[in-house]
Amino acid sequence: MLIGLSPRVRDLWTNTDAIAATEFAIVLPFMLTLYLGGVELGNGLAIGVKVSKTSHSVADMVAQNTQVSASRMLDILQAATSIMAPYAVKDANGNSLMTVTVSQVSTDANGNATVQWSQSTSANGARTVGQKMTLSAFTTTTPTNANISLILGEVSYTYKPNLGSGVTGPVTISDSYYLFPRCSTNSPATSSFPYYDVKLTSSTTCTCIQHLRQKSC
């Protein structure tokens, strides 16, 4: 079959030294894609864990108080953003990648839930006072969700992958967490709706009188 070919062509035809290099050149793009994609996926999962931890932590820090002043609330929100380290909370242009919001959600005797107050690191992130909320049966010990207050921590993070961001664009990773106040300022026996709340005010002095689970403070 190779009789009519020149010696140079015959050598090229029968030479197998470059097979491995050719195969490597074919496989390399797929290997790099898998590797870099794995790195980006790992970063996304790690950020997701940080977001969940931050939402729990900001709710927990607020739930430990009977009242929170405006300045203290700001400190809590700013402290919560540090949990994201070592991941950046601002992009190269100084724009925030993260929004932390904490709200109090209270229910009336019929279990209707509404927002009592809300604060956020973003100017547009806070929930509207009076906004209706839907609670699940897992957020309370009573089936009707009646006469309770909950602290809701919410975190949203804009993740910008280094690989493929031009195709997929930024990815929003978010989570939320409900917690009961640790120490209540009032109860159905001593006050009116909302019950078991955390006061957001700089002037009122509150005294813990009863824990939600009927334990003395």
Lowest mean pLDDT among 6-15, 121-130, 196-205: 6-15
**pLDDT-above-90 percentage for the chain:** 30
d(C-alpha 207, C-alpha 217), whole Å = 10
CA distances from 29 to 23, 25, 35, 146, 167 (A): 11, 8, 10, 59, 18
What is the pLDDT at residue 49? 93
pLDDT digits (tens, 9 = 90+) for 162-172: 765 555 678 89
* Structural domain includes residue 49: yes
CA angle 68, 71, 76 (to 5 degrees): 70
Residue 217: the pLDDT is 37
Residue range 87-103: mean pLDDT, rounded: 91
Whether residue 70 lies inside any domain: the answer is yes
What is the DSSP track for 26-61?
A: HHHHHHHHHHHHHHHHHHHHHHHHHHHHHHHHHHHH
In a domain, 6, yes or no: no
Question: Residue 15: what are its φ and ψ, rounded to 5°?
Answer: -75, 125
Count up the domains in the chain and report the number. Answer: 1
In this structure, is residue 12 part of a structural domain? Answer: no
In the predicted model, what is the mean pLDDT of the chain? Answer: 79
The answer to whether residue 175 scores a pLDDT higher than 60 is: yes
- Which residues 6+ apart lie within 8 Å of 9 measured at CB? 2
What are the pLDDT digits (tens) for 23-73?
777 777 777 766 666 777 778 888 999 999 999 999 999 988 888 888 899
Which of 14-23, 34-43, 180-189 is the least confident region?
Answer: 14-23
The answer as to whether 58 is a domain residue is yes
How do residues 103-126 score in pLDDT, each as one tens digit? Answer: 999 888 788 899 999 999 999 999
Question: Residue 36 and residue 124: Cα distance in Å, rounded?
Answer: 35
Q: Is residue 2 part of a domain?
A: no
| Secondary element (H or E) of residue 177 | strand 171-179
Q: Is 45 a member of any domain?
A: yes
Res 133: pLDDT: 92
- What's the pLDDT at 168? 63
Q: How many CA atoms lie within 13 A of 144 on its CB side?
A: 8
Q: Taking the model in full, what pTM does it have?
A: 0.75
165: domain range?
A: 17-200
Instruction: Label residues 161-198 b or e (16+ Cβ within 10 Å = b).
Output: beeeeeeeeeeebebbbbbbbbbbbbeeeeeeebbbbb
Q: Which residue has the higher pLDDT, 77 or 186?
A: 77
Domain-embedded: residue 214: no
Q: 153: how many CB neighbours lie within 10 A of its CB?
A: 25
Are the C-beta atoms of 147 and 110 separated by less than 8 Å? Answer: no
The set of residues, in sequence order, having a beta carbon less than 8 Å from that of 114 and lying 6+ positions away, is: 105, 106, 107, 130, 131, 132, 133
